[in-house]
DNA sequence: ACCTGAACACCGTTCAAGT
DNA sequence: ACCTGAACACCGTTCAAGT
């Protein structure tokens, strides 16, 4: 049940579906979605690949389970920490700093962005994005923007965030350092979040 | 040498490396990077997969060749059409409308964004992004912004573009229609491109 | 309830032999 | 100069048999 990794030799008994799902998530964080393969995972868990199919009907089902697990945790941590903040501008700012600093969750999000190719990844990322987008839109409305303005602004802000992650993944040279990152986030918020 | 597709039965003679590269590009546009597989391509081209290895040392080499081909074409069409435009603001606007409307090139770009997972894709996308980013930065400088302002603004604008593409790929419901897309681009430019 | 081991399909890769 | 056909490795999947 624990969300922390349980590595190879550390187990005594037999495995559960959850163990496989967690191993898959760890693999995504370490080496990306493509690295989630039955044989290597079985090796890592110290069993034969045949046993995998007692727990899941397919590799895809494992991926889906792992991603659902991630989705639940990320939703709870992100929105759980945001709800108590009353001021909409503060909340917008908090969303970005949170999402940029929650380390492991953030690493996995980046990996998923890279693997949008995969049919199991798309719906999860889609739901997460939609939730965040709705949240941003609502906050902009509370901050006094009209319906369409709020929608456009939310889309622009979230696109700026996702695109920024993408750029950081893309650029070989010129990847940003921590300070520069903070400066950029400041610029983004100053430009896109209404200060009135 | 032609950049248009040459389908299966239409060829008489034997194949060249270029034929394989073009077939790979077509495949990317149709079904994504993952669909570039030797056996299916061989089937489509009407030969056995063994013959592929006369032209390329590996599947990866084919991908690299296909992507280089795309990179060259996209660079020529995009920047070729932009250079003659004197006003920097006009040029910024032109970059976005161009990049959003050049159909096939744009489809491939989207597919590559989804496959950033793949080691052959990253460097190409990285170079293209870097070129566009430099271009935006230069235009903002010409439009009168300071060095850091121009950098931030360019990054933000390009991130907004890339992120927007990502969002459109991600959201199951609520994918934007043509009119809505134009309205959003207007909003983005109005917000991010200085009008002075 | 969970695991092994052997089997098969699919795709990447190699290579000797064909034209 | 380009292609075939058979072979092998790797991974996903199945399944009968084990504990």
Which residues from 39-98 of A have any strand D atom under 7 Å from their CB? Answer: 39-40, 49-50, 52-53, 57-60
For residue B3, the model assigns a pLDDT of 34
Contact flag B170-A117 (C-beta cutoff 8 Å): no
For residue B175, the model assigns a pLDDT of 62
For residue B10, the model assigns a pLDDT of 43
For residue A9, the model assigns a pLDDT of 37
Nucleotide nearest to B16 (CA to C1'): D2
* Alpha carbons B148 and B167: distance in angstroms, whole number: 28
* Alpha carbons B173 and B155: distance in angstroms, whole number: 28
For residue B93, the model assigns a pLDDT of 82
| Whether A113 contacts A159, CB under 8 Å | no
| Whether B170 contacts A126, CB under 8 Å | yes
Q: pLDDT by residue (tens digit) across A125-141?
A: 999 999 999 999 999 99
Instruction: List per-residue pLDDT tens for chain B, 196 residues long.
Output: 333 333 433 445 689 999 999 999 999 999 999 999 999 999 899 999 999 999 999 999 999 999 999 999 999 988 999 989 998 888 888 888 887 777 778 889 989 999 998 889 999 999 999 999 999 999 999 989 999 999 999 999 999 988 888 887 777 555 666 777 778 888 888 888 877 5
For residue B52, the model assigns a pLDDT of 96
In Å, how far are A42, B76, B110, B167 from B128, measured between CA atoms?
A: 39, 12, 13, 20
For residue A150, the model assigns a pLDDT of 93
For residue B180, the model assigns a pLDDT of 78
For residue A183, the model assigns a pLDDT of 82
The number of C-beta contacts closer than 8 angstroms across A and B is: 130
Contact flag B117-A115 (C-beta cutoff 8 Å): yes
For residue B6, the model assigns a pLDDT of 39
For residue B11, the model assigns a pLDDT of 45
Residues around strand C, C-beta < 7 Å: A 14-16, 42, 47-51, 54-55; B 37-40, 49-50, 52-53, 57-60
For residue B8, the model assigns a pLDDT of 38
Residues of chain A with pLDDT under 70: 1-13, 172-176, 196
What three-state secondary structure class fits B187?
A: helix
Question: Dihedral angle at the C-alpha atoms of B141, B146, B147, B151, nearest 10 degrees?
Answer: -70
Contact flag A166-B167 (C-beta cutoff 8 Å): no
């Amino acid at each position: 049940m624990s969300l922390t990794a349980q590595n190879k030799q550390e187990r005594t008994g037999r495995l559960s579906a959850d163990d496989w799902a967690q191993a898959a998530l760890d693999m995504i964080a370490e080496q990306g979605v493509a690295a989630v393969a039955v044989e290597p995972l079985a090796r890592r868990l110290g069993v034969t690949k045949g046993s995998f199919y007692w727990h899941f009907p397919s590799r895809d089902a494992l991926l889906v389970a792992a991603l659902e697990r991630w989705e639940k945790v990320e939703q709870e941590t992100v929105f759980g920490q945001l709800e108590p903040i009353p001021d909409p501008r503060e909340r917008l700012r908090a969303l970005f700093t949170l999402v940029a600093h929650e380390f492991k969750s953030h690493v996995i999000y980046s990996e998923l962005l890279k693997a949008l190719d995969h049919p199991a990844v798309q719906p999860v990322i889609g739901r997460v994005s939609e939730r965040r987008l709705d949240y941003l839109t609502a906050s902009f409305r509370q901050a006094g923007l009209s319906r369409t303005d709020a929608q456009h602004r939310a889309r622009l802000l979230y696109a700026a965030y996702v695109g920024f992650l993408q750029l950081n993944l893309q650029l070989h040279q010129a990847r940003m350092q921590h300070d520069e990152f903070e400066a950029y986030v400041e610029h983004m918020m100053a430009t896109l979040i209404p200060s009135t």
